[in-house]
Amino acid sequence: MIDRVRLREELAQLIRGDAGSLTSADVAEKAGSDLVTVERFWRSLGFPDAGDEVAYSDTDVEVVEIIVGAMRSGMLHEDTVMRLARALGHTMARLADWQVTTIVDQIGADVLEGRAESRLASAVDLARATVPDFERVMLYAWRRQLAAAAARVEALGAVDAELLSTSMTVGFADLSRFTAMSNTLDDAGLGELVENFENRATDVVVAGGGRVIKALGDAVLFVNPDPRAAVVTALDVVQHISQRPELPSVRVGLATGSVLNRLGDVFGPPVNLAARLSDVARSNRVLVDSVTAGALDPAEFETRPLPQRSLRGFGEVSPITVSRRRGFRAHG
């Protein structure tokens, strides 16, 4: 007989690191803070108020002591701490969901193939084996990404306004006929299709020196500071996806201009224009705006303006198709 209660408690303790024995008021008192600040911090992380429930541990006290100490020292303003907590909570919630749904497939296979007595037992075995090492991997990835983000900001310049916005090319890669195809798939097939597309598109974007800002199931939003590199990336995405018979065709819109970087996302007219261009692009085609087209070498790329069409929010726009010129060889 499987002791499910014991396994659940063990799984929770393996993941969290310790068992809860404190209320939120206890945490506030032990951390030398007030309950209002503590509850605001937890809400920023994405957790509801626990009231009088015993739900916290000494680890929670240590974390609250850290954030309270940072605020009292004047090193960080309270609003800054809460904004950082909100970013952390939002990102970690998505990461945790992503990790759990990824692991579910292996857990099911472990049970079917007799390597585990139950899904819960398999989850406990995985937590025992992987949590300590993967915690180190997560910290490593965060430090590397933080260093890369700091380098990008430093490269923008010393003017404060430049730290909030910069000129870059935004790409919006969108699967054609996604809705029709998704209606023919079961949940597992749909999940596999979306993951396949996102993985392949992300690999191409990163290889080209760009960044994926977010994936939206049937679309990927990416940026690149270099218009030429963004165009090469868009054409490579089309080429790679079109070669996969299990995936629908893809279409890409690109626009260049000033983009605001906030909350891990990008905003501004180029973002909206890239999305509008992808909407009107034919399958396996790349459409760009005039700014992006103007940054390209005519010897390397062929561009062709299309008839004007009405794009919501932009009025009458003449999209421009772009393709590589046959036989062109880059120098250097």
* Whole-number pLDDT of residue 332: 45
Q: Are residues 62 and 42 in the same domain?
A: yes
Question: In sequence order, which residues have a C-beta less than 8 Å from that of residue 285 and are 6 or more positions away?
Answer: 238, 251, 252, 321
* Token pair belonging to 215: 């994936």
Same domain, 139 and 185: no
Contact 259, 273 (CB under 8 A): no
CB 126 within 8 A of CB 103: yes
- Structural domain tally of the chain? 2
Query: CB 301: neighbour CB atoms within 10 A?
Result: 20
Domain of 277: which CATH number? 3.30.70.1230
CB 193 within 8 A of CB 217: no
Does any domain span residue 331? no
Centre a 10 Å sphere on the Cβ of residue 271 and count the other Cβ atoms it contains.
21
Last residue of a domain, one of 156, 178, 204: 156
Domain identity same for 145 and 168: no
Residues 21 and 69 in one domain: yes
What does the pLDDT read at residue 6? Answer: 72
Task: Specify if 330 maps to a domain.
Answer: no
Same domain, 56 and 130: yes
- Residue 57 shares a structural domain with residue 198: no
Q: Which of 156, 180, 195 is the last residue of a domain?
A: 156
129 and 181 share one domain: no
Residue 332 lies in a domain: no
The answer as to whether 28 is a domain residue is yes
SS3 letters across the chain? CCCHHHHHHHHHHHHHCCCCCECHHHHHHHHCCCHHHHHHHHHHHCCCCCCCCCCECHHHHHHHHHHHHHHHCCCCCHHHHHHHHHHHHHHHHHHHHHHHHHHHHHHHHHHHCCCCCCHHHHHHHHHHHHHHHHHHHHHHHHHHHHHHHHHHHHHHCCCHHHHHEEEEEEEEEEECCHHHHHCCCCHHHHHHHHHHHHHHHHHHHHHCCCEEEEECCCEEEEEECCHHHHHHHHHHHHHHHHCCCCCCCEEEEEEEEEEEEECCEEECHHHHHHHHHHHHCCCCCEEECHHHHHCCCCCCEEEEECCCEEECCCEEECCEEEEECCCCCCCC
In a domain, 40, yes or no: yes
Instruction: Characterize 62-77 residue by residue with b for buried, 16 or more Cβ atoms within 10 angstroms of its Cβ, and e for exposed.
Output: ebbeebbebbeeeebe
pLDDT digits (tens, 9 = 90+) for 248-298: 889 999 999 999 888 778 999 999 999 999 999 999 999 999 999 999 999
Same domain, 265 and 226: yes
If you average pLDDT over every residue of the chain, what do you get? Answer: 85
Q: How much of the chain, in percent, has pLDDT values that exceed 90?
A: 38
Predicted pLDDT at 155: 66
Shared-domain flag, residues 234 and 264: yes
Instruction: Out of 122, 156, 190, pick the residue that ends a domain.
Output: 156
Query: Which residue range forms the structural domain that includes residue 99?
Result: 4-156
C-alpha torsion sign, points 103, 105, 108, 113: negative
β partners of residue 172: 221, 253
- The reported pLDDT for the residue numbered 257 is 95
Indicate whether 119 and 239 sit together in one domain: no
pLDDT in tens, 130-168: 777 888 888 898 899 888 877 777 666 544 455 556 889
In a domain, 329, yes or no: no
Inside any domain, residue 284: yes
Q: CB atoms < 10 A from the CB of 149, how many?
A: 13
**How far apart, in whole angstroms, are the C-alpha atoms of residue 46 and residue 86?**
7
- Same domain (yes/no): 199, 292: yes
Residues of the chain with pLDDT under 70: 1-4, 10, 154-165, 179, 328-332
